[in-house]
Structure 1
Amino acid sequence: MTFDAVLFDRDGTLVRDVPYNGDPRLVEPMPGARELLDRLRATGARTGVVSNQSGIGRGLLTRAQVDTVNARVEQLLGRFGTWQVCPHRPEDGCPCRKPRPAMVVAACAALGVAPERTALVGDIEADVLAARAAGAHPILVPTPVTRPEEVTRAPVVAADLRAVMALVCRKS
């Protein structure tokens, strides 16, 4: 299937996960990230990021620090059509924090695409569940933090971002 938009989790998916990262110098793209994003953009697909950032709610990061890290991600990987960030802690019960769907729905609205024509690429089950709850198509790219049972339950699993390319890129 081809998609009108592909959304990405940030930490562990687009860039190496540095817990509560507020330092743009620590941003390191995952292998294949730039290649995949360049290909998506060349074929007309819209791109966005949906990212839980509980460090803000926990007082470990400021929103300005997160925005600076996000700007560095864009310097390295190119511009995204939307950034949706949940600043809340898990115990806050907000509607935006993955696995809830609000960030995915908001990203689709910002990009002008229907959730059913959108894929969400992430590294943990919260990403999969958020995509499903929003009506989007989840793609799990496991990392060492992904639990084996999450991989088993995921409807689509890709070994890495290069493997995602075959699943989401339009033929040109």
Structure 2
Amino acid sequence: MKIAIFDRDGTLNAMGNEYIATPDEWVPIPGALEAVARLSRAGWHVVIATNQPGLGRGVIDVHALNAIHGRLLKQVSALGGRIDAVFFCPHSDAEHCSCRKPAPGLMEQIRDRYGVERSEMVAVGSTLSHLQAAAAIGVPQLHLVCSGTAAELEVSKGALSAPWPEGTHVHADLNAFVDFVAAAQAAKAAAH
């Protein structure tokens, strides 16, 4: 089983002013959902891990969050893809929980729920905290997409420096990430 763990805000959808509190405020990044659908159709299980501190602060309730995620799932499905699950941390940063990224709790929950080895997982996101959480449990493939908070990141052809986890791959967008994965799979198949 191959699992790709995506961050949500800034990776799949445009960042809100502060919180995305209604389905109408949730707007996908152009091409992002098509990339997710392509990956899903290629046999990957797609899971989302997202911090949602608006729940803990009372800005949004779980019904609104479920409606937002319902819209996301429906749009990916309409493109022929599938998102297997959405894991979220409802806590504010003041609560010091173990699931709020960069803490590894959400990544551990995903690993345990699916019973996969770390080697079968990749993490994809536009934030440092998402990649740090995955690195904390030893996810070997970390992928930064230059959207959301990473859109203005000055990235040279070389490796990212600390605090970015060592070995992080950088992609212009989610479609470039999926192209990278497809090329790696084709090279692996040709080698066998």
Structure 2 residue ranges without an equivalent (≥5): none
User: Larger C-alpha radius of gyration, 1 or 2?
Assistant: 2
The question of 1:50 aligning with 2:36 is answered: no
Is residue 126–residue 148 contact of structure 2 (8 Å, CA) maintained in 1?
A: no
138-147 or 156-165, which moves further after superposition?
Answer: 138-147
89-98 or 34-43, which moves further after superposition?
Answer: 34-43
Q: Deviations along 1:32-51, whole A, 9 cap, x unmatched? A: 22222222222211110000
Alignment-mate amino acid for residue 149 of structure 2? V
Q: Deviation at 1:149?
A: 7.9
Q: For 1:16, which of 2, 14, 37 is the aligned residue?
A: 14
Is residue 82–residue 107 contact of structure 1 (8 Å, CA) maintained in 2?
A: no
Residue in 2 aligned with 1:86?
89
The question of 1:157 aligning with 2:173 is answered: no
Question: How far apart, in 2, do the equivalents of 1:112 and 1:87 lie?
Answer: 24
For the aligned residue pairs, the C-alpha RMSD in angstroms reads: 2.2
146-155 or 21-30, which moves further after superposition?
Answer: 146-155
Q: Deviation at 1:144?
A: 5.4
Secondary structure at the aligned position of 2:75 is classed as helix
The question of 1:25 aligning with 2:24 is answered: yes
Alignment length, in residue pairs? 170
Q: Deviation at 1:4?
A: 0.9
Q: Deviation at 1:156?
A: 1.5
Is residue 81–residue 111 contact of structure 1 (8 Å, CA) maintained in 2?
A: no
Q: Deviations along 1:98-120, whole A, 9 cap, x unmatched? A: 00111012122333322222111
Residue in 1 aligned with 2:110?
107
Is residue 101–residue 129 contact of structure 2 (8 Å, CA) maintained in 1?
A: yes
Q: Deviations along 1:42-68, whole A, 9 cap, x unmatched? A: 221111000000001111111111111
Whose RCO is larger (CA < 8 A, sep 6+)? 1
Identity of aligned residues (%): 30
